[in-house]
Amino acid sequence: MRVKNLILILGVIVAYLGIIGYVRMSNDRTIEKRYYQVWREDYIKNQSESEQYVNAAGKNKPPFALSEAQGYGMLLAVKAGQKHLGSQTDFQKLDNYYLRHRLSNSNLMSWRQENKKGSLQDNPVSASDGDMMIAQALLEADKVWPGHGYKAQALKLISDIKKLESNRSAKIITVGNWANKKSHFYNVMRTSDVMPQAFEEFYQATGDHSWIEIKSQMLTYLQQLSSQYKTGLVPDFTWISKQKQASPAKANDVATKDDGNYSANACRVPMLLAASNDKEANNIVKKMLRFFKQKEEISSGFTLSGKPLYPYESASFSAPIFVAASKYQNEGYGTLVEHEKYIFSRPLPANNYYDATLIVLAALNTNELTGLEK
């Protein structure tokens, strides 16, 4: 009798856990679907019947497109496809837009398309972060929807990234094809171009070991930057010397007054490093998370010594931290996960493409959404 009762109790427990697991999965799926659908409604625009692009301007402003935005859109479309929240048609329309807006005699995408005289016109240079994300998305799409030629496209793009967007002496990805040997910016590295998972995938797809060398060297530069401050924070941009030493850029060296701060580019670094299981990448991101864990509020940027740049929070900073902390939450970062969940408690911004996109990317890349209001 006792054995039968024990079996019955165990059966009830198993059934209960199964129901809880199903409810959690169902809740997560509902939130993911809602965020992805709202994001598409707000930011995806039709260029033609067969082409779509991510409108980086948001609503009620003259639209423009970025290769970075297109890369994010293609990554989101693939992730949605994996979760049965989106279709191959969604991805193909974004891919068609990329194909049409490649630079002349190249597989790199024009970094920006602006509305001039009623049509989107290409800027004649590239941005490496957009190109790398597009290549990643194409490789992943080939696994989700095989037989559409996505890997062949990716291989051509990866080849051009190495040929036209890399500094082979410093072993870095440059900020774009315009930052070539003749440019003052040939030795500039954008810290958010340190994408260890992407480099690993490029190596697996091509068999070209130089991608592993690039990954290793760029992580070394990031480690050099991380070690310079107790915070572990890294700047948006860094200069690489002939001696292969990384030093933070100064204000307005490359793009903005925050070039040497943890700002709008570097904010993506925690998410990018956490995507890989590389030991050095993990060590770098955990040092950053230890700093963030001590803060009552994650402001929209910091100096490398940890002083807040602006007196408000921003989802483009919190979302990547949420993703990274979620990976390591069993190592003492659970409170940081809970703290940064606030990004899902507000309506998705309709006029801030960057914040909105990183929120949806976080939603589709973690399993920590249970308990949020629908």
Give the residue extent of every domain in the chain. 45-164, 184-366
For residue 15, what are its two tokens?
């059934």
Nearest residue to 170 via CA among 202, 216, 227: 216
Task: Give the class (CATH, top level) of 184-366.
Answer: mainly alpha
Give the model confidence (pLDDT) of 346-356 as tens digits.
999 999 999 99
Distance (Å, whole) CA 335 – CA 300: 20
Nearest residue to 219 via CA among 166, 186, 178, 173: 173
Do the domains 184-366 and 45-164 match in fold? yes
Question: Residue 99, Cβ neighbours under 10 Å: how many?
Answer: 12
What is the model's pLDDT at position 21?
39
Residue position matching structure tokens 């490789």? 139
What is the model's pLDDT at position 25?
38
What is the model's pLDDT at position 20?
35
Does residue 121 sit in helix, strand or coil?
strand
DSSP state of 230: T
Query: In which element (H, E) is residue 238 found?
Result: strand 237-240
Which overall architecture, per CATH, does domain 45-164 show?
Alpha/alpha barrel (1.50)
Question: Residue 125, Cβ neighbours under 10 Å: how many?
Answer: 15
Give the model confidence (pLDDT) of 50-79 as tens digits.
999 999 998 888 999 999 999 999 999 999
Instruction: State the pTM of this model.
Output: 0.92
Q: Output Rg (C-alpha) for the chain, integer angstroms.
A: 21
What size, in residues, is the chain?
374
> Which parts of the chain sit beneath pLDDT 70?
1-29, 368-374
What is the model's pLDDT at position 118?
76
Asked if residue 211 lies in contact with residue 145, where contact means CB atoms within 8 angstroms, the answer is: no
Mind telling me the catalytic residues?
129
What is the model's pLDDT at position 2?
55
Give the model confidence (pLDDT) of 122-138 as tens digits.
999 999 999 999 999 99
What is the model's pLDDT at position 6?
54
DSSP state of 250: P
What angle (nearest 5°) sits at the alpha carbon of residue 328, between those of residues 322 and 332? 100
Asked if residue 77 lies in contact with residue 83, where contact means CB atoms within 8 angstroms, the answer is: no
What angle (nearest 5°) sits at the alpha carbon of residue 14, between those of residues 8 and 19? 125
